[in-house]
């Protein structure tokens, strides 16, 4: 269910470009990009992956165009794709020209690999005439050798200078429909480079930690870099560069934007307590079962699974729907209000059933349909648990008694008296 986004840093103002029908920059929603891993010449296989990426949250998909067969594949793929297609170009400018002929909605050029000025200008002029934007894709691992020498390595200044030099070539042919990325596999370097780029250019920025590696480490590295910048208002598109199924990239990107309140919730957000001695159920097991069942249905909800009824409904009151365990029962709640009490073995099925109704009917209707007596039954369970386990989970009273005994014992044993130097 949608909810107002909590504001972070104000978005950095940038120019507006369009990748096909997707607006980029100038306040447009941050978009998610991923890249196919299939051979682009394999039209059906590539399209199947593009559809899977789109279903997982990708707004834009990039495909390699490294040979004539790939360009021919793009001619079949572009008109059948559910999202705009960007052609990835590295060493051969004729592949960029061929991709434009195939109808792609964007190009990505690596200035460290495509270095001849005449060729770069030719591609930019052709893109200008067709109204196709180009991403200047700077990579710390493939800078022009002269930049490594001038700046003493892959520094933030070297990455930004690489983009600036490419922009100057584009400007010579009157082309300004540009997006910029300054990626690195080092998270601190990546953050510093994008901060500098945001101060240097007014073009939209595409965020990413390149070669982040496989999950979970790759997810952590990419999130550390991308989320830091997004929280500062920097970034207009993003990609998780994972050594994994690219669908994981698209899903991670979408989930990050939803978590930051930068995109309306499209899929499941399951929250769960970490469990403790008060838990009445296997929280990990129930949460995993609920996630599997709800993800299959692709419900746009924030769902809570809590281990006990003492604090669960209150702590998760902002969730759209949740369930908490107590005395071999499940207390089902919507926005913190108990609407049903079910048997423990029915917790997941009851949660899924109510979640589907919640999406179909809305919050007010489901609150109105709450079982009579559900809140009273839940409160009885809560009080019974409090009486059995007590509220002093940190044993504060017991600790205070020990402190007082220790102090009294020390005084009886004869501590420093008046006039003694107790310093």
What domains are there in the chain, each with its CATH number? Answer: 17-259 (3.20.20.20), 269-389 (3.30.413.10)
Q: Which residues pair with 17 in a beta bridge?
A: 24
What is the length of the chain?
A: 423
Q: Determine contact, residues 161/147, Cβ cutoff 8 Å.
A: yes
pLDDT value, residue 415: 54
Task: Report residue 25 as tokens.
Answer: 């920059």
pLDDT of residue 419: 46
pLDDT (0 to 100) of residue 268: 84
The rounded distance, in Å, linking the Cα atoms of 322 and 330 is 10
Angle 263-265-271 (CA atoms, 0-180°, nearest 5)?
120
Cα dihedral angle (63, 114, 210, 73), rounded to 10 degrees?
10
Task: Spell out the per-residue pLDDT of the chain, length 423, in tens.
Answer: 444 445 678 999 999 999 999 999 999 999 999 999 999 999 999 999 999 999 999 999 999 999 999 999 999 999 999 999 999 998 899 999 999 999 999 999 999 888 899 999 999 999 999 999 999 999 999 999 999 999 999 999 999 999 999 999 999 999 999 999 999 999 999 999 999 999 999 999 999 999 999 999 999 999 999 999 999 999 999 999 999 999 999 999 999 999 999 998 877 888 887 766 666 677 888 889 999 998 888 888 899 888 777 666 777 778 899 988 877 788 899 998 999 999 888 989 999 999 999 999 999 999 999 999 888 887 887 787 777 655 454 555 677 777 888 888 877 776 554 444 444
What separation, in Å, do the N-terminal and C-terminal C-alpha atoms of the chain show?
Answer: 62
State the CB neighbour count (10 A cutoff) for residue 107.
Answer: 26
Q: Which pLDDT score, from 0 to 100, does residue 5 have?
A: 45
Q: What is the pLDDT of residue 423?
A: 43
Which pairs with CB-CB distance under 8 Å and at least 24 residues apart come from 345-352?
Answer: 347/281, 347/286, 347/323, 348/286, 348/289, 348/290, 348/293, 350/323, 351/290, 351/294, 351/303, 351/305, 351/321, 351/322, 351/323, 352/290, 352/293, 352/294, 352/297
Looking at residue 207, its pLDDT comes to 98
């Amino acid at each position: 269910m949608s909810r107002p986004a909590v504001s972070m840093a104000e978005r950095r103002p940038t120019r507006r470009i369009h990748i096909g029908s997707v607006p980029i920059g100038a306040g447009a929603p941050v978009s998610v990009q991923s890249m196919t891993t299939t051979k682009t010449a394999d039209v059906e296989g590539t399209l199947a992956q593009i559809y899977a990426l789109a279903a997982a949250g990708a707004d834009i998909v990039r495909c390699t165009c490294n040979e004539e067969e790939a360009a021919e594949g793009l001619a079949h793929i572009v008109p059948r794709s559910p999202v705009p297609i960007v052609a990835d170009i590295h060493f051969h400018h004729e592949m960029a020209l061929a991709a434009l002929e195939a109808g792609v909605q964007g190009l990505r050029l690596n200035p460290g690999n495509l270095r001849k000025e005449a060729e770069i200008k030719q591609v930019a002029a052709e893109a200008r005439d067709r109204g196709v934007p180009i991403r200047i894709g700077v990579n710390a691992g493939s800078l022009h050798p002269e930049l490594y020498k001038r700046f003493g390595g892959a520094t933030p200044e070297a990455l930004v200078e690489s983009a600036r030099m490419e922009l100057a070539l584009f400007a010579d042919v009157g082309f300004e429909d540009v997006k910029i990325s300054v990626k690195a596999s080092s998270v601190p370097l990546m953050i510093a480079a994008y901060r500098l780029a945001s101060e240097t250019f007014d073009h939209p920025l595409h965020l990413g930690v390149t070669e982040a590696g496989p999950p979970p480490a790759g997810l952590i590295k990419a999130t550390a870099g991308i989320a830091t910048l997004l929280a500062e208002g920097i970034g207009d598109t993003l990609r998780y560069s994972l050594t994994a199924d690219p669908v994981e990239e698209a899903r991670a990107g979408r989930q990050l934007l939803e978590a930051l309140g930068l995109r309306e919730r499209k899929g499941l957000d399951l929250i769960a307590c970490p469990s403790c001695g008060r838990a009445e159920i296997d929280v990990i097991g129930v949460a995993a079962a609920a996630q599997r069942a709800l993800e299959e249905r692709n419900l746009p909800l924030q769902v809570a699974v809590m281990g006990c009824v003492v604090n669960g409904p209150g702590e998760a009151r902002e969730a759209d729907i949740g369930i908490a365990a107590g005395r071999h029962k499940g207390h089902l709640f919507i926005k913190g209000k108990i609407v049903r009490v079910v048997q423990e073995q029915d917790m997941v099925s009851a949660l899924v059933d109510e979640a589907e109704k919640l999406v179909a009917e809305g919050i007010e209707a489901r609150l109105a349909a709450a079982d009579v007596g559900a809140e009273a039954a839940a409160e009885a369970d809560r009080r019974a648990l409090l009486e059995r386990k007590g509220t002093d989970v940190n044993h504060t009273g017991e600790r205070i008694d020990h402190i007082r005994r220790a102090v009294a014992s020390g005084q009886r044993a004869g501590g420093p008296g008046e006039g003694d130097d107790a310093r």
